[in-house]
Chain A
């Protein structure tokens, strides 16, 4: 049998239906792959027994001609989704030993559609980071290396474990979450596809909260088609999330018609930032040419408040985080560090339990929300956020989708950017604006850098128009013909 881990989700689905192989065989192949790639530190918790049990049930269903959208497809779950009776860490010391008694809605949806859980994957602590270097469980290593160089690179973040697991064929797909770019930037760094749907499309219930007005779950896969299939399985209205939108989930795969003739694609001039590398600029121009060749009309647009997005984000997100993370107090779950009294116990628990970046953001957020500063920081940032969302609304009067690069560079080396928090924040310069506006965005691999690393292009769409985003991404994917793979050096 050929290597089953090389298949896409769509191919595996068809193979399972045609009984070319069983779900158990497919899962076993991925468990072997996980074993071989443990050095990448993508998984925090592997759940091979659960996987085999779920695959066995899938085989029974498939034998009867039944089964859901993802029947028998082995996936990894970002360790920010609560999974019943399975350790859920948010990559933080403060959640030591936490085994939820409930299952997140998104993972429930996946299991209902037949997906098989391989395990829980690593991330930046509480999803705060862009390089997966803030995890209490250690850095995730990018499966990709620069040509002729064996230095370890970061997989991006915060969904770095998800991205690495998918890129190294340790899972056919993985759930991610995106608050300011945490699905799209790691997808770009690992040559994978990641879509953040519209805010409200996937339920946030049971997902460890970071910044509630920005957090949104989405799939990470190796093809646009796979992303469509997995998004459909994850999405849907959920009464348990007050911002979940009551709207039918379309058949996303059916949106991949390959036809974008007459579609208007906006190119925002403000994204041509000073110091943009030639490689990224070239890739973007190439993307424009591919879309033109496919019959789309290219329109220059202006999103004038783009340059303020990061600053607004780094007030709004920490403010919401400082409030959300107040629940980690050593009383209800996880770590407790005893102290002289209750207040001292709180402070010691949180002082030891949170890592440096998380503490930094909680402190910024607490300050921004404190008496006398609320108007100057939080309220101001939320007003700027309105201006940014209005820019997009205006632009979408004349275009159907927007094309930009996903990240300002290819993957960088571990340790290269963590001396200065601001330099790290700049990684999200192209992804944050759409997060602030709640818009759907996809990153897909479109080429290789001169050092042999994957580079991504991003497409943004109107609220709840993931279909146009996916359709356009499908056309770009076809034109780019990106089929590079990391050399499997970790198998040693």
Chain B
């Protein structure tokens, strides 16, 4: 298993992280060394083992589907870099 520069660029795009062209090579080699090392998991027989889905031995709780809280529009946008009239401002997405 080996990630090439193009795959790293694709993954970076999926993760929405800008990576400069000159950094792709180094990043590919770091990721490869991590992924190579993780290959050892293949040695473990997990044929009849279920994946862990809950750390504590517990059932998720049920609750009534009702409004119990809210009304914080100002608080919610208080930390936004570009709030507009109580909304989150984003660059134009529709021409």
Please report the C-alpha to C-alpha distance between residue A334 and residue B56 in the assembled complex, in whole angstroms.
33
| Complex contacts, B78 vs chain A, CB 8 Å | 99, 101
- Nearest chain A CB to B91 CB, angstrom units: 5
Contact pick for A422, options B34, B52, B90, CB 8 Å: B34
Q: Mark out the residues of chain A between 362 and 403 whose CB falls within 8 Å of any chain B CB in the assembled complex.
A: 362-364, 366-367, 370, 377, 379-387, 389
Q: Mark B2-37, 1 if CB is under 8 A from A, else 0.
A: 010001100111111111000000010011011101
A146 within 8 Å of B (CB atoms): no
Please report the C-alpha to C-alpha distance between residue A386 and residue B93 in the assembled complex, in whole angstroms.
44
Known pairs A101-B72, A198-B56, A346-B16; A315 contacts B51 (CB<8 A): no
Q: Mark out the residues of chain A between 337 and 362 whose CB falls within 8 Å of any chain B CB in the assembled complex.
A: 338-339, 341-348, 350-352, 354, 359-360, 362
B67 within 8 Å of A (CB atoms): no
| Complex contacts, A344 vs chain B, CB 8 Å | 18
Do B91 and A385 touch across chains, with their CB atoms under 8 A apart? no
Do A245 and B16 touch across chains, with their CB atoms under 8 A apart? no
Please report the C-alpha to C-alpha distance between residue A370 and residue B15 in the assembled complex, in whole angstroms.
10
Please report the C-alpha to C-alpha distance between residue A402 and residue B29 in the assembled complex, in whole angstroms.
38
Do A422 and B15 touch across chains, with their CB atoms under 8 A apart? no
- Nearest chain A CB to B54 CB, angstrom units: 8
Do B56 and A363 touch across chains, with their CB atoms under 8 A apart? no
A242 within 8 Å of B (CB atoms): yes
| Complex contacts, B40 vs chain A, CB 8 Å | 307-308, 311
Report the nearest B residue to A331, measured CB to CB.
B88
A438 within 8 Å of B (CB atoms): yes
Please report the C-alpha to C-alpha distance between residue A379 and residue B51 in the assembled complex, in whole angstroms.
6
| Complex contacts, B93 vs chain A, CB 8 Å | 341-342
Do A305 and B44 touch across chains, with their CB atoms under 8 A apart? yes
| Complex contacts, B58 vs chain A, CB 8 Å | 200, 243, 245
| Complex contacts, A385 vs chain B, CB 8 Å | 51-52
Which among B52, B75, B90 has the highest number of chain A CB atoms within 10 Å?
Answer: B52
Report the nearest B residue to A371, measured CB to CB.
B14
Please report the C-alpha to C-alpha distance between residue A338 and residue B90 in the assembled complex, in whole angstroms.
10
Do A370 and B14 touch across chains, with their CB atoms under 8 A apart? yes
A463 within 8 Å of B (CB atoms): yes
| Complex contacts, B92 vs chain A, CB 8 Å | 341
| Complex contacts, B27 vs chain A, CB 8 Å | 360, 363
Do A350 and B31 touch across chains, with their CB atoms under 8 A apart? no
Which among B14, B16, B27, B33 has the highest number of chain A CB atoms within 10 Å?
Answer: B16
| Complex contacts, B72 vs chain A, CB 8 Å | 101
Do A332 and B80 touch across chains, with their CB atoms under 8 A apart? yes
Do A347 and B56 touch across chains, with their CB atoms under 8 A apart? no
Q: Mark out the residues of chain A between 316 and 345 whose CB falls within 8 Å of any chain B CB in the assembled complex.
A: 322, 326, 329-336, 338-339, 341-345
- Nearest chain B CB to A23 CB, angstrom units: 31
Please report the C-alpha to C-alpha distance between residue A336 and residue B31 in the assembled complex, in whole angstroms.
27
Q: Mark B52-71, 1 if CB is under 8 A from A, else 0.
A: 11111110110100000000
Do B11 and A243 touch across chains, with their CB atoms under 8 A apart? no
Do A351 and B38 touch across chains, with their CB atoms under 8 A apart? no
- Nearest chain B CB to A455 CB, angstrom units: 27
A290 within 8 Å of B (CB atoms): no
- Nearest chain B CB to A205 CB, angstrom units: 13
Known pairs A101-B75, A363-B27; A383 contacts B17 (CB<8 A): no
Do A364 and B44 touch across chains, with their CB atoms under 8 A apart? no
| Complex contacts, B89 vs chain A, CB 8 Å | 331
Do A332 and B79 touch across chains, with their CB atoms under 8 A apart? yes
Report the nearest B residue to A99, measured CB to CB.
B79
Known pairs A336-B82, A463-B57; A314 contacts B38 (CB<8 A): yes
A213 within 8 Å of B (CB atoms): yes
Do A200 and B14 touch across chains, with their CB atoms under 8 A apart? no
Please report the C-alpha to C-alpha distance between residue A261 and residue B75 in the assembled complex, in whole angstroms.
55
Known pairs A383-B50, A386-B49, A386-B50; A367 contacts B3 (CB<8 A): yes
Do A200 and B50 touch across chains, with their CB atoms under 8 A apart? no
| Complex contacts, A326 vs chain B, CB 8 Å | 16
Contact pick for B55, options A243, A339, A354, A362, CB 8 Å: A243
Residues of A within 8 A of B (CB): 97-102, 198-200, 213-214, 239, 242-243, 245-246, 305, 307-308, 311-312, 314-315, 322, 326, 329-336, 338-339, 341-348, 350-352, 354, 359-360, 362-364, 366-367, 370, 377, 379-387, 389, 420-422, 436-438, 463
Interchain Cβ contacts under 8 Å between A and B, 16 examples? A101-B78, A200-B55, A243-B54, A243-B55, A342-B90, A346-B16, A350-B18, A360-B27, A363-B11, A367-B31, A380-B41, A381-B38, A421-B30, A421-B34, A422-B34, A437-B55
Name 16 extra pairs, CB < 8 A, besides A350-B18, A379-B51, A381-B38: A99-B79, A101-B72, A200-B58, A245-B56, A311-B38, A331-B81, A335-B81, A341-B91, A341-B92, A351-B17, A362-B17, A380-B41, A380-B46, A421-B34, A436-B52, A437-B55
